[in-house]
């Protein structure tokens, strides 16, 4: 996005992004820890608010195409690879949407905090774009004051660091030997996320 300094966005609190059909709010290990602390939930409790989504490629697509679109890596489960995200209602709305209001706003995933922007690595800083679905569904785009470019870029750096952590976790998790029949159960997976200290947000003691 070449004209970030001229981009206007003001959240109208309409809830459209939380109701968008087919949208999966992916979560990183950091997001899981923050939400668990907010909800005062253990691994079993978190399984009541997290979903494991399996996505089949469309016509002319491959699993690699799906993974590129999802950005976050799939995780191995006892039922096959799946993407971890916030649970959705049968009508497709986010589990945490109350009316048009986010009931976990203070602990919402980083990807929600970044809306309507999406980020990819690019040299010294993140490449910034507007999420495709946002351009057709968000009435706040073009409204209000211009965004703060420095703040948007800082959010992008945080997201990319946390996606790196998610990918590192996925590599460790997915490369475990298959000998233990309970190795890839969701409760164990979430438990490991909750037990880990994020390298993206903490520094090792000297």
How many separate helices (H) and strands (E) can be counted in the chain?
A: 8, 8
> How much is the pLDDT for 106?
94
Distance CA 104, CA 38 (A): 8
Q: What is the dihedral of CA 53, 57, 59, 60, to 10 degrees?
A: 150
Q: Is residue 97 within 8 Å of residue 19, measured between CB atoms?
A: yes
If you average pLDDT over residues 11-27, what whole number do you get? Answer: 90
Structural domains in the chain (count): 1
Omega of the bond prior to 87 within 30 degrees of 0, cis? no
35 has pLDDT over 70? yes
201 assigned to some structural domain: no
If you average pLDDT over residues 171-196, what whole number do you get? Answer: 91
198 assigned to some structural domain: no
110 assigned to some structural domain: yes
> How much is the pLDDT for 25?
93
199 assigned to some structural domain: no
68 assigned to some structural domain: yes
Render pLDDT for 147-177 as a digit per residue (tens, 0 to 9).
999 999 999 999 999 999 999 999 999 999 8
Distance CA 87, CA 49 (A): 5
The domain of 97 spans 4-193
41 assigned to some structural domain: yes
144 assigned to some structural domain: yes
Place of tokens 């073009």: 142
204 assigned to some structural domain: no
Distance CA 40, CA 34 (A): 10
């Amino acid at each position: 996005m070449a004209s970030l300094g001229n981009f206007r966005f003001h959240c109208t609190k309409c809830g459209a992004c939380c109701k968008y059909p087919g949208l999966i709010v992916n979560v990183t290990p950091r997001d899981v820890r923050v939400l668990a602390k907010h909800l005062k939930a253990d691994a079993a409790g978190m399984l009541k608010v997290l979903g494991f989504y399996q996505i089949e490629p469309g016509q002319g697509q491959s699993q690699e195409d799906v993974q590129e679109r999802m950005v976050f890596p799939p995780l191995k489960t006892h039922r096959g690879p799946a993407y971890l995200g916030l649970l959705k209602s049968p009508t497709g709305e986010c589990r945490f949407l109350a009316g048009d209001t986010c009931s976990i706003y203070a602990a919402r995933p980083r990807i929600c905090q970044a809306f309507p922007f999406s980020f990819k690595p690019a040299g010294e800083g993140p490449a910034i774009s507007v999420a495709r679905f946002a351009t057709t569904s968000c009435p706040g785009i073009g409204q209000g004051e211009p965004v703060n470019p420095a703040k948007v870029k800082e959010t992008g750096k945080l997201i990319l660091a946390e996606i790196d952590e998610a990918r590192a976790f996925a590599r460790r998790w997915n490369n475990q030997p298959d000998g233990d029949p309970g190795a890839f159960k969701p409760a164990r997976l979430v438990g490991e996320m909750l037990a880990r200290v994020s390298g993206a947000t903490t520094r090792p003691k000297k």
